[in-house]
């Protein structure tokens, strides 16, 4: 039996929270890859796990970032006992500056590397938050919550799972994790602690769902090293590696291969430089003396001694790699260069990545990526690993998190296959309210939880209606119509003047609609219509109908009717 997915529209406002009942609300991360943020509430106190961003898709033009919806918390900011960060990826920490604008002194808990990277980010926002460093195995009383931190293996060092003990029971939140048995840093997922917590009783298990559809176990990071060495062996000139700025393990492998091939390494891109400096200063990145050089020093080196590590592996238009592909960067590639895209494809970014690959290939560059070589492995547990963990933890209730809807459903099916009662598996979306009471987790309602768009300096003011306007402008074009009328004589005295943008046919094609607009206005004027707004709506309908029939387009139409 597969748990039923509950559409949010079916859910009403949740009841008032009872004493000693734990309420769990995801403000992001369910039904999407990003924006991870989960609120835990009991006896009027709140603990937050993660606060990340979602990156926009092509259908969201002009959007810089998408934030979790903080509305649920705005009237409760002083009830927040703390915010726990599982790791330092942007989809888990990127929204911190925006939450801290609401309340700057929220206590933040995280590992050494996580807080190091967060501190560097927040300094750019001129923020000095209250930070509390924790390590795997630590236990902390955070207000009303007793929290234990458990080591997990992920694609960034120092990641943590979080066990939260409350009067309602114990919750275990995996964060992002996998079970690589040969990790580069030797830090494996602490299955002993998972088993111990399971023996003590895990009442609600929140589990990473990203790879729930992928069978078996994720390939070990160590399998990449020989492939990377082979890439270095075959690269006749410069080697440019594109990866996530936070993927310290991958950068370490690049540095190791560079050392063995007598190459120097330069970091390209502001976020890459910042992240690697923090990782090196804190001892998470090992770089032999003399290996690192600045971008300005590259011209002094032979091409076969150069490695550049840069941002932009997801095709982000303003990142270094995309700018290099577009000839919008001081680094110019040629046919002796090799580009290695050492990262997975985030769903929705396929077109952007393909544009970068094609742009680089145009200049004769040899592009190596996950489609033609084993140059990246996922940081998320596959189905075999998830089953393993379910059997160790033996949770009473399961709530899949971190994934699109299909991932959540696949994870739910794994939980049921491992023996969890289907009625105890919660499939939810952002804003769904789940209460843990008497050992049973159940959906009790929903709270408003929409997308919050960051558009330049504006946060939250960009609406879906404005985005629709932008999509229309980008896809269908723009038409303005100017008309001057004499209300006394009931006639058109100037225009209609039609100006169009985004039409291959040009403005001249609209000459056929001009007499139709004039006739409709004069007809309306003769009928006693004198309100400029009504006349403008008439112009819009007449123009829109003609464009739809003649050009099969639905552009944005802006009519202007003035009295002469």
Indicate the CATH number of 221-368 among 3.40.640.10, 3.30.70.20, 1.10.3720.10, 3.40.50.10710: 3.40.50.10710
Angle subtended at Cα 141 by Cα 135 and Cα 144, rounded to the nearest 5 degrees? 140
Point out the least confidently predicted range of 226-230, 326-330, 457-461: 457-461
Q: C-alpha distances in angstroms, 529 versus 524, 537, 542?
A: 5, 12, 16
**Residue 440 has what pLDDT?**
95
**Residue 250 has what pLDDT?**
87
pLDDT in tens, 406-449: 999 999 999 999 999 999 999 999 999 999 999 999 999 999 88
**For residue 355, which of 337, 370, 367, 343 has the smallest C-alpha distance?**
367
Higher pLDDT, 4 or 237: 237
**Residue 437 has what pLDDT?**
94
Distance CA 333, CA 321 (A): 10
Instruction: Please provide residue 73's backbone torsions phi and psi, each rounded to the nearest 5 degrees.
Output: -95, -15
pLDDT in tens, 137-167: 999 999 999 999 999 999 899 999 999 999 9
Predicted confidence band of residue 116 (pLDDT cuts 50, 70, 90): very high
DSSP codes joined into one string, 189-215: --HHHHHHHHHH--SEEEEE-TBTTS-
pLDDT in tens, 347-390: 556 667 778 888 888 888 888 877 776 777 888 999 999 999 99
Distance CA 549, CA 564 (A): 31
CB 366 within 8 A of CB 340: no
Distance CA 401, CA 174 (A): 9
**Residue 368 has what pLDDT?**
85
Mean pLDDT computed over 512-519: 79
Ranges for all domains in the chain classified under CATH 3.40.50.10710: 221-368
Ranges for all domains in the chain classified under CATH 3.60.15.10: 20-216+378-445
CB 342 within 8 A of CB 313: yes
Point out the least confidently predicted range of 84-88, 237-241, 486-490: 486-490
SS3 304: helix
At residue 73, does pLDDT exceed 50?
yes
Point out the least confidently predicted range of 204-213, 317-326, 364-373, 512-521: 317-326
CB 96 within 8 A of CB 110: no
Higher pLDDT, 211 or 316: 211
Distance CA 356, CA 363 (A): 11
At residue 475, does pLDDT exceed 60?
no
Distance CA 315, CA 322 (A): 6
Higher pLDDT, 427 or 243: 427
* 3-state class percentages of the chain: helix first, strand second, coil last, to nearest 5: 35, 25, 40
At residue 2, does pLDDT exceed 80?
no
**Residue 545 has what pLDDT?**
81
Topology, domain 464-563: Ubiquitin-like (UB roll) (3.10.20)
CB 325 within 8 A of CB 257: no
The rounded mean pLDDT for the chain is: 85
Distance CA 33, CA 346 (A): 8
Predicted confidence band of residue 88 (pLDDT cuts 50, 70, 90): very high
Predicted confidence band of residue 539 (pLDDT cuts 50, 70, 90): confident
Structure tokens at 464: 């879906």
Beta strand residue intervals within 288-438, DSSP E: 306-310, 338-341, 366-368, 398-401, 432-437
Return the residue matching tokens 């997922």.
Answer: 189
CB 240 within 8 A of CB 310: yes
**For residue 247, which of 217, 282, 279, 219 has the smallest C-alpha distance?**
279
Predicted confidence band of residue 72 (pLDDT cuts 50, 70, 90): very high
Higher pLDDT, 479 or 303: 303
C-alpha torsion 55→59→61→63, nearest 10? -30
Predicted confidence band of residue 26 (pLDDT cuts 50, 70, 90): very high
At residue 405, does pLDDT exceed 80?
yes
Distance CA 146, CA 142 (A): 6
Instruction: Please provide residue 37's backbone torsions phi and psi, each rounded to the nearest 5 degrees.
Output: -165, 120
Three-state SS for 490-557 is CEEEEEEEEEEECCCCCHHHHHHCHHHHHHHHHHHHHCCCCCHHHHHHHHHHHHHHHHHHHHCCCCEE
**Residue 137 has what pLDDT?**
94
**Residue 409 has what pLDDT?**
94
- Beta-carbon contacts of residue 540 (< 8 Å; ≥ 6 apart): 481, 557, 559
At residue 175, does pLDDT exceed 60?
yes
Predicted confidence band of residue 396 (pLDDT cuts 50, 70, 90): very high
Mean pLDDT computed over 268-277: 87
**For residue 346, which of 325, 376, 383 has the smallest C-alpha distance?**
376
Residue 65 β-bridge partners: 454
DSSP single-letter state for residue 307: E
DSSP single-letter state for residue 425: B
Rg (CA), the chain: 28
Ranges for all domains in the chain classified under CATH 3.10.20.580: 464-563
**Residue 315 has what pLDDT?**
46
Predicted confidence band of residue 60 (pLDDT cuts 50, 70, 90): low
At residue 462, does pLDDT exceed 60?
no
Q: C-alpha distances in angstroms, 264 versus 153, 229, 243, 367?
A: 29, 15, 18, 20
Distance CA 258, CA 256 (A): 5
**Residue 214 has what pLDDT?**
92
CB 58 within 8 A of CB 29: no
Indicate the CATH number of 20-216+378-445 among 2.30.30.110, 3.60.15.10, 3.40.50.720, 2.60.40.10: 3.60.15.10
pLDDT in tens, 301-334: 998 999 999 876 554 555 677 778 777 778 888 8
Higher pLDDT, 6 or 21: 21
DSSP H/E element including 410? helix 405-417
Mean pLDDT computed over 88-104: 91
Distance CA 130, CA 107 (A): 5
**Residue 332 has what pLDDT?**
84
CB 393 within 8 A of CB 202: yes
**Residue 56 has what pLDDT?**
62
Beta strand residue intervals within 68-156, DSSP E: 80-84, 108-110, 131-133, 139-142, 145-151
Higher pLDDT, 242 or 100: 100
**Residue 62 has what pLDDT?**
56
DSSP H/E element including 163? strand 160-166
At residue 534, does pLDDT exceed 80?
no
CB atoms within 10 A of CB 110: 27
């Amino acid at each position: 039996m597969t748990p039923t997915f509950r559409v949010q529209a079916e859910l009403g406002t949740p009841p008032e929270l009872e004493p000693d009942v734990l309420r769990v609300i995801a403000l992001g991360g369910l039904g999407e890859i990003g924006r991870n943020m989960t609120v835990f509430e009991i006896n009027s106190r709140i603990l937050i796990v993660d606060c990340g961003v979602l990156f926009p898709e092509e259908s969201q033009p002009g959007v810089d970032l998408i934030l979790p919806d903080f509305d649920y918390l705005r009237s409760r900011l002083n009830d927040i006992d703390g915010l726990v960060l599982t790791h330092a990826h942007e989809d888990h920490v990127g929204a911190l500056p925006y939450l801290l604008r609401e309340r700057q002194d929220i206590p933040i808990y995280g590992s050494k590397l996580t807080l190091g990277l967060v501190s560097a980010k927040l300094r750019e926002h001129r923020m000095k938050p209250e930070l509390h460093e924790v390590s795997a195995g630590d236990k902390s009383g955070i207000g009303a919550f007793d929290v234990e931190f458990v080591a997990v293996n992920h694609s960034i060092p120092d990641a943590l799972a979080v066990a939260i003990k409350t009067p309602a029971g114990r919750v275990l939140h995996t964060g992002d994790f996998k079970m690589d048995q040969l990790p580069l840093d030797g830090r494996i997922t602490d299955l002993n602690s998972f088993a111990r917590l399971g023996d003590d009783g895990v009442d609600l298990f929140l589990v990473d769902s990203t790879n729930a559809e992928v069978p078996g176990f994720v390939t070990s990071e160590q399998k990449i090293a020989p492939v990377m060495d082979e890439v270095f062996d075959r690269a006749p000139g410069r080697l440019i590696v594109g990866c996530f700025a936070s993927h310290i393990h991958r950068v370490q492998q690049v540095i190791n291969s560079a050392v063995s091939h007598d190459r120097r390494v330069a970091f390209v891109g502001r976020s890459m430089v910042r992240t690697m400096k923090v990782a090196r200063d804190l001892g998470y990145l090992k770089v032999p003396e003399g290996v690192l050089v600045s971008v300005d020093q590259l011209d002094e080196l032979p091409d076969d001694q150069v490695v550049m590590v840069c941002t932009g592996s997801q095709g982000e238009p303003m990142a270094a790699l995309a700018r290099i592909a577009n000839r919008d960067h001081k680094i110019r590639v040629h046919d002796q260069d090799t580009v290695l895209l050492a990262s997975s494809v985030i769903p929705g970014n396929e077109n952007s990545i393909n544009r970068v690959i094609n742009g680089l290939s145009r200049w004769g560059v040899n592009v190596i990526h996950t489609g033609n070589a084993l140059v990246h492995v996922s940081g998320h547990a596959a189905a075999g690993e998830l089953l393993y963990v379910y059997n160790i933890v033996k949770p009473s209730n399961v709530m899949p998190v971190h994934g699109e809807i299909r991932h959540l459903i696949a994870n739910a099916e794994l939980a049921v296959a491992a023996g969890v009662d289907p009625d105890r598996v919660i499939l939810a979306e952002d804003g769904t309210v789940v209460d843990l009471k008497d050992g049973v987790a159940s959906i009790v309602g929903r709270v408003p939880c929409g997308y919050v768009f960051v558009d330049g300096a504006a946060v939250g003011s960009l609406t879906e209606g404005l985005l629709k306007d932008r999509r229309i402008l980008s896809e269908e074009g723009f038409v303005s119509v100017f008309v001057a009328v004499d209300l006394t004589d009931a006639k058109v005295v100037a225009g209609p003047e039609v100006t169009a943008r985004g039409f291959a046919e040009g403005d001249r094609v609209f000459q056929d609609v001009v007499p139709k607009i004039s006739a409709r206005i004069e007809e309306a004027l003769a009928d006693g219509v004198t309100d400029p707004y009504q006349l403008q709506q008439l112009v819009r309908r007449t123009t829109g109908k003609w464009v739809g029939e003649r050009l099969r387009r639905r552009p944005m139409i802006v009519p202007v009717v003035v009295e002469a």
